[in-house]
Every structure is written in structure tokens, then in C-alpha cells.
Structure 1
């Protein structure tokens, strides 16, 4: 059985610096990055043995108080704390996520298609693009793997030039899928995608193993488009009621800017 809770705790412990956690750095070098198990246990108010058993998957019933204490030690935000609790519920055998088919409702489809002078598209938890408006189609035109944002980012070499902040974009997309999938990693379609990307991309393996959780994109995205040059777009993302795992992404340019003009020219090219 996979130890998702332990993997998450270990990744967060290794990513948490002693300075951020408020631990006094002792003399000598540290052989491992981040915090030691004993330091986490002390800060969370549990025994070292108990915390070790949590990481190793031998303790499967942590209380909410313990989970919240660990979230404080690691500096987790709201989404990551919720993910931690979700992983813990899955170890108790009391949590099972259910899903609907990847069908976009007619009302959401009309909304996307009628959204003008902005990118608008809907993705599922694997970041498959389910529907997109004409502006998005023009924006991604010519890209292979454009039907899945993870494949586009990690498997298409052109993405390194398209996303001017490639590492930031890559980390967000992986963290978004981890948050969307949660503790339910036994979906064959998700497992197949993770295996495919892990085999093909060392960068994906590195970022996936960091166990970052984030559902909000960075507000600003910077891109280089072969036909219209550089664009800076403002992002927003919304959960879709009644469609678990589906999210609506929207991006637009500030009015009157060169990016606004570039988006206008892209839109006109689809007419």
C-alpha cells in the first residue's frame, strides 16, 4: 500500500528550512536538507517515535490536532493543510472520492465560447483541456500535446520558450494536479499520466516528488508567442459547481497594453 501521507510529510520536512521553522542551527553541517524528524516532533508537540511512525506509514490515525500542528511547523497554506487532512482520512479507510464523467455542462460551454478577448478554457484534474474558446485555440495553435497542459509543458521542447517563467508554470501545473487528485491516486488514467511523464521527463519526476500543493495560479503569466511576440496576461481560476475536479481558467491582458494588442491580433487571426 502506498504511503502517501508519509511521502507528503517527508517532502514537506525536507523542504522546510530551519530558519523558517525557527529552529536554532547547531554547530556543524547538516547531512540532510530541511528539518530533522526530532525537530519536527518537538515543534509539533509529539514524540519522535510517533512522528517517525507517521512518516513510515505505521501510524494511520493522527488526530486533527496533530495534523494542524504539523501544518504549522511546515508553514502550510489553506489548500496544503486541507490536502494533509485528506491524506490522513484516506489512511483511516474512511475517505473515497467519487467523480463524474469529464463532460462540461452546456451552460459552462456557452460561457466559455462567449468569452471574448480573453483566454477561457476548462480542465479536469489531469489538466486535460475539455473545452476552450477561439482565443485559447489561437494561443495554443501549432502546439503538439495542447490537449493536456502537463504534456505540453513537460514533453514539448517548445514550451521552454513559450513559457518565459517555465519553472514557475511547471511547478504550478504539477501542484494543481496533486491538489485536484488528493488521496485518490488509484485512478488508472491519473496513474498512467504520472507514469508517462515520470518516464519521459526528469523535471516532472523532480517536481512531482516535492509534493507541493497549490490550486491558485500565479496572477501574472509571461509568454512568448511565435506570431505576436511577448505577452503578459492576468490569470484567474474558478471551481465549477457540480463538476468535481473541473476548473475554469481565464486569462486576459491589461487594456491598452502591447499584450492587449497582441491578443487582439491573435483573435482576429481565427476569424
Structure 2
């Protein structure tokens, strides 16, 4: 991982223009062999209405003080979605971190809310650290059994030898994890802990390196996840992610299942086993 967002800007722009075929934007290819997939730099410049030299400088991280109009034009040409567009702005105009982030702490009311939920739930912080959880979340994911320094969803996905067993659809989980880390890294440029985490994941799993170099970004939102529980077997759950007002770097993740489903029965059994164990 490079030290600044401007270092990352070129890789992001190259990866996005590589996705677009000339015919998709009404550019004739004239049957010529193309040395790179997707659009050429001069084609992006033409479609965005800027000079080739200006766009080249932008890809090289030398486009200081770039205007909203230019960024919007490039985003339009590259067909960026809302998340990618915001990421482009973060890269072109790196936010300034006033000071190193303080140690993450979950408000007591948040833990009370987790405990009141009748669904597996936990709080994710920066770097995808797991900061808090409720009893059913622990029963599903086993957070309390993890060493404190390893309660991190990215490390589990890429460094835990059992990850592909825990997540039968591991490729989906890995892609979403790397994409969210990239988004988070751009929002907090120059963070040494993020750099160390990316270096650790890159050294420990070639699959992470490939995903990181793809420059895909994605918000942590909602979806489905297939989890293999060591006792309960396969759990096919939905999940929703909620940002905490006042703590923008903390997210509540809740696993949800249909009330009359087999998964609901399994979660009820896990909850009952947990209460019995505490009793």
C-alpha cells in the first residue's frame, strides 16, 4: 500500500477505465490491436473534455487542485457508481488526519442495544476490528474465543486457515472484505496501522494481493452470507449494516433470518444452549 491517496489515484483510474470497452461509449476501435484493455488515457480525456496532458497528470497523481467539474466528468466517463465517485474524490483530495485515531471504544448504550437484540449482532470498527458483540453473535462467530488481537474480520477471512471452511462462499466474502478495506484506507490516508494490516494480509495471502490490486471499492451494506458453524452446520443468513451516529467509524452488523426458517430454529437452539451454559 502506498503512503498517500495521490499514489493510489492512478491505479484506481487505470482499473476503472480497463473495465469499459470502446464500443460501450461509441468510440470506433477500427479493428486496431489495443495494448491495454478498455479505454486509453487519450480516450478518457476526449470524452471528459480535458486535455490528454491534464488527464495523464491526474493518473500520475500530479493533478493537484483538480476541479469538481473535471472529477465529475471523469466519473461520468468511467461510469463510477456513488461509492466509486466518493472514493475518487477521497483519492484526488486526500483528507487530512489531524492526529492518530484514538483507541476505539463502544459506548455502553450500544452494548445494551446489542444485548437487547434477538439476533446475532456485533460492532465493527476501523480496520474491520470486532469491538463488541452480543451473546448470539458470539454463539455464531466465536468472538470471545479469539485472542483479542485477532478479533478482526479481514484477518479471519485471509489469514485463518479455516476461513474457506467457515465461509463456503469464500470468494464473495474475500472480495467484499478487500473492497471495504480499500474504501476505509482512502478515507484515512497515511494511517500506519492500515498500512501494516494491508502488508500483513498481502504477505499472508496472494488472493488478497490480487483483490487489492483490482482497486474495487464497496460500502459495507447488506447481503447474504453462508457460514459453516462447527456445531450447528450451515447457516444461510442475511445481514444488514448500520452506521452509528456520532461514531462514523463504527458499524453494527446484524444477521437476519426468516422467522419460520430452519436458520431461525438453529439460532434459537444456539441461544438456548448459551443460556443453559451460563445458568
Quick check: TM above 0.5?
yes
Note the C-alpha offset of 1:154: 0.5
Query: How far apart, CA to CA, are the structure 2 residues paired with 1:22 and 1:162?
Result: 45
Q: Which structure 2 residue ranges, 5 or more long, are not aligned?
A: none
Query: How far apart, CA to CA, are the structure 2 residues paired with 1:183 and 1:56?
Result: 20
Q: Could you tell me which residue of structure 1 aligns to residue 131 of structure 2?
A: 130
Q: Could you tell me which residue of structure 2 aligns to residue 119 of structure 1?
A: 120
- CA pair 164-96 structure 1, distance change in 2 beyond 3 A: same
- CA pair 186-119 structure 1, distance change in 2 beyond 3 A: same
Contact 2:96–2:189 (8 Å) recurs in 1:
no
Q: Could you tell me which residue of structure 1 aligns to residue 87 of structure 2?
A: 83
Does residue 261 of structure 1 match 2:262? no
Note the C-alpha offset of 1:17: 3.9
- CA pair 203-21 structure 1, distance change in 2 beyond 3 A: farther
Contact 1:164–1:224 (8 Å) recurs in 2:
yes
- CA pair 259-13 structure 1, distance change in 2 beyond 3 A: same
Note the C-alpha offset of 1:146: 5.7
Does residue 211 of structure 1 match 2:215? yes
Contact 1:21–1:74 (8 Å) recurs in 2:
no
Q: Could you tell me which residue of structure 1 aligns to residue 111 of structure 2?
A: 109
User: Which stretch shows the higher mean deviation, 219-228 or 45-54?
Assistant: 219-228
Q: Which structure 1 residue ranges, 5 or more long, are not aligned?
A: none
User: Which stretch shows the higher mean deviation, 201-210 or 139-148?
Assistant: 139-148
For these two proteins, the number of residue pairs brought into alignment is 266
Note the C-alpha offset of 1:101: 3.0
Contact 1:125–1:181 (8 Å) recurs in 2:
no
Query: How far apart, CA to CA, are the structure 1 residues paired with 2:42 and 2:57?
Result: 12
Contact 1:5–1:57 (8 Å) recurs in 2:
yes
**Residue 164 of structure 1 is aligned with which of 143, 168, 187?**
168
What TM-score does the superposition give when structure 1 sets the normalisation length? 0.89
Contact 2:63–2:92 (8 Å) recurs in 1:
no
- CA pair 211-269 structure 1, distance change in 2 beyond 3 A: same
Q: Please tell me the root mean square deviation across aligned C-alpha atoms, in Å.
A: 2.1
**Residue 193 of structure 1 is aligned with which of 197, 210, 218?**
197
Note the C-alpha offset of 1:143: 6.8
Query: How far apart, CA to CA, are the structure 1 residues paired with 2:79 and 2:97?
Result: 26
What TM-score does the superposition give when structure 2 sets the normalisation length? 0.87
Contact 2:224–2:238 (8 Å) recurs in 1:
yes
**Residue 184 of structure 1 is aligned with which of 184, 188, 194?**
188
Q: Could you tell me which residue of structure 1 aligns to residue 96 of structure 2?
A: 96
SS at match of 2:18: helix
Q: Could you tell me which residue of structure 2 aligns to residue 74 of structure 1?
A: 78
- CA pair 263-143 structure 1, distance change in 2 beyond 3 A: farther
- CA pair 119-36 structure 1, distance change in 2 beyond 3 A: same
